[in-house]
Chains A and B, each alone.
Chain A
Amino acid sequence: MEREHELESMLVADCGSTTTRVALIDLVGNEFHFVAGAETATTVEVPWSRLSMGVREAIREIERLTGRALLGHQEQLIVPERDNGSGVDGFVATLNAAVPLRLAVVGLIRSLSVESLLKATDSSYAVIQDVVARDDMTAERGTGSSMQAMLGNVLQNRHDAILLGGGIDGGAIAPVLEAVQDVATALVAGGEAGRTHVIFAGNRDARPQVAQVLGECSNLHVVDNVLPTLETEDLGGAQEAIDMLYREHKMDRVPGFGELKAWVSTPVLPTAEGFGVVLRYLARLSELDVLGVDVGGVTTQLAGVIDGRYGSTVNAELGVGYGLGSILEQVGMDSLLRWLPFEMDAEEAHSRILNKALRPMTIPETTEDLALEQAAAREAISLTLERARSRWLDGGSSLHPELLPPVDLIVGRGAVLSQAPQPAQTVLTLLDSVQPAGVCTLAVDKVSVLPQVGALASVNSLAAAQVVSRAGFLRLGTVIALAGTGREGSVALQMKVEYDDGQTIKVEVPYGALEVLPLMPGRKAVVELRPTSQFDVGLGRKGRRATTEVEGGVVGIIVDARGRPLVLPGDEGERRAKIREWSRELGLLRTMR
């Protein structure tokens, strides 16, 4: 007999490029809880070529862990939950196992419309193959090399869509029509076979002419101008159009996606969008500035709410699986090797990196492989941070123009962060790459549910809220990071910690050091901070004494007095010694060679 249909129990799944994770969320008493979770390899590529295979595998593992039947006849999900406790009331899913959308961006002025168009692509799973700014073009022919190359690619059908814009609303329409006509000529020459999507996000007054020129030769989507005035940006329409194309042309074409779609209670969300929903929710709930860092196999995302403004940058080719090759290409091997506490031959490191990229579902079994993956994660985060700073994380910090604006909470996810063997390894990875300054909390999505909970919010917001607050993340600790530079070994910070049990300790932290003070999860302490005159902890002016309350975590209170921006010693031996010293302080040395 079926129970009355209510969403009281749900399976939530995230299908990443290499790993599929499923969790069971159920109403226990009056509150929703994370009951069990399982993960397995994502089965989207050959030899499996069926996404649902991995999802079922993870569901069967949850059946084993909980003793609850979830799959019924012909391995179909039992929905809704039965009186005998089998099945669930709903299923929600997020996905980033699809390949990214291939885009060309065409605008008029690089620093204006092109910049805004690029910003509009930033939160989506998109790879920009061509960027054309008409102000870059050579004057004599009216068409520059970037336009010629882009048109060549149009003829070879190398784009999924062209994002086209230019001009402010009410401005002259002739310049943007020139660009539209250039693109249309190539689309006409390409013929019906290569019919491409064009998203027009330029001067709204040009829409009738744009429809006339592009309507016949492309699949045209007209959206709000990304730059309606010189002072305002409106990226929403273009972002929605890109996301819609990604869903329809990439997600929907993932082998086996149809089966997943048949199960879900709400449309499958791209993982980055689900994570973004949760971060916004966290920021609103706690009134904090929140930054999320997700390092996946092929995608790295940085998203957050800072000063009430949400932003997201998705780097759709960088990751610690398939995306390792892109990291290596962009930063070079030396940048990866500099994070290792031991010497490794570049050729050997190269082999290890390529072998992981060829078999991205494998996990590190040696400290060398683990350290290399964590080094790659640092570089993926740094590269994505750099892009985010040029798009939405602009303005820098009051402590230093090159630093991240102050945030209260940093949440890491992706196996390399949330499943590191030692939580302190995640702390070090985040500190080295994000380089927060001031006082902030570090946490991880330990049970890998945050994006799915973002998707869940649209069908059961109470369940989403309760799961996030109870099991959504594991608090690693509070970081107190000093901005500034000083003389190695000289005192940078004097601090007094008053624990909630009345115990007090005083510590002097020298410049260049990382120190960890114990403070268990759930415990609080009041810290009095006295940075020396060259340093700032973001609680007042440089050298000013400040007092703040901090919360504990599985690592504790982490004092990062290595200065900001972080500079590693240039000498290889000194650098390794320093990294070993920091690792030792974080209790990591026994797991390192």
Chain B
Amino acid sequence: MTYHPFVTRVVPNMLIRRERLLPFRGEVLVTTGQRVQPSDIIARTTVPSGIHLLNVAKALAVDSTDISRHLRVGFGDRVARGDVLAAGDGPVRLFGRTCRSPMSGVVAGISNGRVLIQSSSSTLELAAHYRGTVINVMSGLGAIIEIRGALVQGIWGSDKEGFGVMKLVVDDPAEAIDPKAIDVTCRGTVLAGAFSVSEEALYRAQQMEIQGILVGGLDTGLQDLVHSMPFPVVVTEGMGRFAISRPIFDLLQAHEGQEASIRGTIATRGGAVRPEIIIYVPRTDEGAIPEARPEFVLERGSQVRIVRGLHLGETGEVVDCPLHAKQLPTGASGRGVEVRLESGEEVFVAQANVELFG
């Protein structure tokens, strides 16, 4: 059976396209063909909050179809607490019923005899996050940016973004980040390569205004702390303590000192998004392969990572793809592959439990 396993992209030179979209409509500030830098704002929108709906017609005891002649405000007007939004017939001070704004804000909507006051709002600015070229603008929503660089996908991330020089903090992927190693020379960088990160290292990274951390694994107990940090943490192997896989570590090592965009965004369903780091490799115009849907199949010679079971986190080479199902330690039987681990040991792994790098 041809089996298309899950693929983790680890590619040294690639033409990558990334959508940068606002969560809802706003204004796009770039045009097709424009070069952008990671910190450039490419789109912005207003995020409404503090919504208050006032039934003005009811307050004035008038028909909602008759409200326009009673209104004292219009769409988009700024109002202060106590301002008259609408008034009934007659002088307001003496006789007339009035409807006053219970809070300061902006009139965000008027219809059906109601006034919608938005007491606060914030501006959401969408940065390019990548260095590249705008190749398509989606009106009111954002743009697609084409980037050239090396790509490494993670499996978990903390939903933030950063940009900086990528710095390896360990010599061996099986080492944890030493908090003392995060010194002033790390300021503004993206730290990568370690086995895991500790609470102390996270606080130290915050002090040094680190732009992001890429690690093999993460203790589940640190998830909340990681989410509270101003920078993204991207995990390449899984939750727990795992060394970064050798192919990923080798790529990181080859590009140490280059600038990188790191993004912790993760969406597992409905157009899944994986956390990733893109390293801007110099002179990549030639030979960059366009990012496309991988058509890799699991076959003899495939380099795989084991993602479940006793050998979770280990990498190796597929040496056999038996046609028939075999029994797993649980007693279930399933199709699988024989993998020669880096240690030389050969193990049978369910095909659902291996991932390809590519």
Contacts and interface: CB of A to CB of B under 8 A. Distances in A.
Interface of A: 17, 38, 40-41, 43, 45-50, 53-54, 57, 60-61, 64, 98-99, 141-143, 147-149, 151-152, 155-157, 178, 181-182, 184-186, 188-189, 191, 193-194, 213, 217, 298, 322, 347-348, 350-351, 354-367, 369-370, 419-422, 591
B313 to A, nearest CB: 10
Interface residues of B, number: 64
Interface stretch (B90-98, B172-180, B266-274): B266-274
A365 B112 contact: no
A348 B293 CA distance: 34
A186 B6 CA distance: 43
B111 interface: yes
Interface stretch (B46-54, B186-194, B200-208): B46-54
Given A45-B269, A193-B24, A351 B6 contact: no
Q: Which of B24, B102, B113, B140 has the most CB of A within 10 A?
A: B24
B344 interface: no
B352 A591 contact: no
Given A45-B269, A362-B307, A151 B53 contact: yes
B340 to A, nearest CB: 18
Given A50-B293, A186-B53, A355 B4 contact: no
Contacts of A419: 332
B310 interface: yes
A6 B71 CA distance: 69
Interface stretch (B12-20, B225-233, B323-331): B323-331
Contacts of A47: 6-7, 9, 293-294
Sort A-B residue pairs by CB-CB distance and give the 5 closest, nearest first. Answer: A189-B109, A365-B309, A421-B331, A99-B270, A181-B112
B332 A359 contact: no
13 contacts: A41-B352, A45-B269, A48-B4, A61-B1, A152-B51, A182-B112, A191-B25, A350-B220, A351-B220, A358-B156, A362-B352, A363-B352, A366-B329
B353 A365 contact: yes
B185 interface: no
B330 A355 contact: no
B109 A142 contact: no
A359 B51 contact: no
Contacts of A360: 268
Contacts of A217: 111
A41 B6 contact: yes
Nearest to B312: A355
B239 interface: yes
Given A45-B272, A185-B109, A359 B155 contact: yes
B2 interface: yes
B55 interface: yes
B110 to A, nearest CB: 8
A420 B1 CA distance: 22
B52 A351 contact: no
B58 A142 contact: yes
Contacts of B54: 141, 143
Contact of B55 (A49, A143, A361, A365): A143
Given A350-B221, A351-B239, 6 more contacts: A38-B1, A45-B272, A143-B53, A189-B108, A191-B25, A354-B156
Contacts of B114: 181-182, 185
